[in-house]
Structure 1
């Protein structure tokens, strides 16, 4: 929970804040699928996804819990904790300055031996950088667009499975009971606890939490938010394993979509030749 901050009810006034992110101007990165990024730039819209669509089945651990009062609370049987959880959507960014592990996880490149083109272009990723401050600034317009949600940017805490369950138990048996998760801080916390298995991602999550929650209506699986890519993105770079001619083609496609901001070349896979200054004579091979 955000220290010293009064709990905000889900149905309270829309709010925006950051959790465990003291430097709002620190760069964060995300690898977008190429076609999705082009679509986001041309439409000026970006999608946030409901946790149930994420690959890890334990992304929303509180939604997997059942309250059970049969042993200690008269008249209370079992009830799913999910009944207290407002719909939420998220987009994942990272504090990781760049790694081969993340690149290969989110971008596929396999060059045809003759054409040298990427034959897995449908799974190719593009690295986009921004800052927490820019994302929170972009969120100012989302209420006017009818998003009717709270917006939280938070650094993920990586914990053991037992620690995650214990936090949920402590919250449910604490001062506010299960209704802790009916607050913005509680719902945000429940989506910022993640298994240590994923700690290499150094994840920062952009969360949108619905404040006009109607239990009887199914929540949409994706929420689109309006963005200005030139203002939001600080730079774009393409997979460094691509050949230069394909990088040039990708740059042209991004420009045609309407992006006028910075495009940088990623030198991570560039061959570097070294010239060694010798201070003494040496034998021939």
Structure 2
């Protein structure tokens, strides 16, 4: 964690937009391999309980007022501003006070980002002087934290094999597989008219 920020997760199983925002694939025109592997992203799956437990275990202040996990609420900019105004008018100097109050201010985003269905893991640091780097470290074991790793759906099969081997060499014991988001799907439709039937197969591309 960087103090004053949050770690973002999503409830959306698959998202074209998120792959394109958080992962870069630049294919070699001859081989089809990714030439931007260092900017390549992966999608990891875990549970809310696992994330919050990690944060509680690492907390340097009482975790019940420092560690939070919440689903982001999406609204118009006008509504968000009105919510802040109402809270300040009601609570005055105590508006958004305490750990929970601080965390709640980070659980609001504008409507254009609604597709993210975001969940935020928030740590509120109550102590003065957190160090010059403003970093809060949360130790974790990938094998006990992540249930699955999903690779970019645009990767070449040889890239996929290479990534799978890399994860295996690092001791990761859970599934590592390529997303099938862009995989073609075949639908077979049976037409039955005047005593005859034909099967029509339609390829559907993403």
Range of TM-score over shorter length: 0.7 to 0.9
* Residue correspondences, number: 193
List runs of 5+ in structure 2 lacking aligned partners: 199-206
RMSD between aligned residues: 2.4
Cα distance, 1:137–1:166 mapped onto 2, change above 3 Å: same
1:49–1:89 CA contact under 8 A, matched in 2: yes
Determine the C-alpha separation between the residues in 1 that align with 2:87 and 2:133.
28
Q: Does 1:266 align with 2:184?
A: no
Q: Cα deviation per residue 1:111-158 (whole Å; 9 max; x = unaligned)?
A: 112121112222211011111111112223213xx4776110011111
- The structural deviation recorded for 1:93 is 0.4
Determine the C-alpha separation between the residues in 1 that align with 2:51 and 2:8.
12
Determine the C-alpha separation between the residues in 1 that align with 2:131 and 2:82.
29
What is the correspondence of 1:242-261 to structure 2 with a 5 Å cutoff? Answer: 242-261=155-174
Aligned residue for 1:107?
23
Determine the C-alpha separation between the residues in 2 that align with 1:273 and 1:196.
35
- Residue 58 of structure 2 aligns to a residue whose secondary structure is coil
- The structural deviation recorded for 1:189 is 1.0
List runs of 5+ in structure 1 lacking aligned partners: 1-47, 51-87
Cα distance, 1:218–1:165 mapped onto 2, change above 3 Å: farther
Query: Where in structure 1 do 4 or more consecutive aligned residues deviate above 6 Å?
Result: none
Determine the C-alpha separation between the residues in 2 that align with 1:167 and 1:98.
31
Q: 1:240 aligns with which of 153, 156, 162?
A: 153
- Residue 94 of structure 2 aligns to a residue whose secondary structure is helix
Aligned residue for 1:182?
97
- Residue 162 of structure 1 aligns to a residue whose secondary structure is helix
Cα distance, 1:147–1:183 mapped onto 2, change above 3 Å: closer
Cα distance, 1:181–1:245 mapped onto 2, change above 3 Å: same
Q: 1:117 aligns with which of 29, 33, 58?
A: 33
1:89–1:223 CA contact under 8 A, matched in 2: no
Q: Does 1:208 align with 2:123?
A: yes
Determine the C-alpha separation between the residues in 2 that align with 1:218 and 1:166.
35
Q: 1:159 aligns with which of 75, 84, 105?
A: 75
Cα distance, 1:224–1:160 mapped onto 2, change above 3 Å: same
Under a length normalisation based on structure 2, what TM-score does the superposition of the two structures give?
0.82
Aligned residue for 2:201?
none
Determine the C-alpha separation between the residues in 2 that align with 1:255 and 1:180.
49
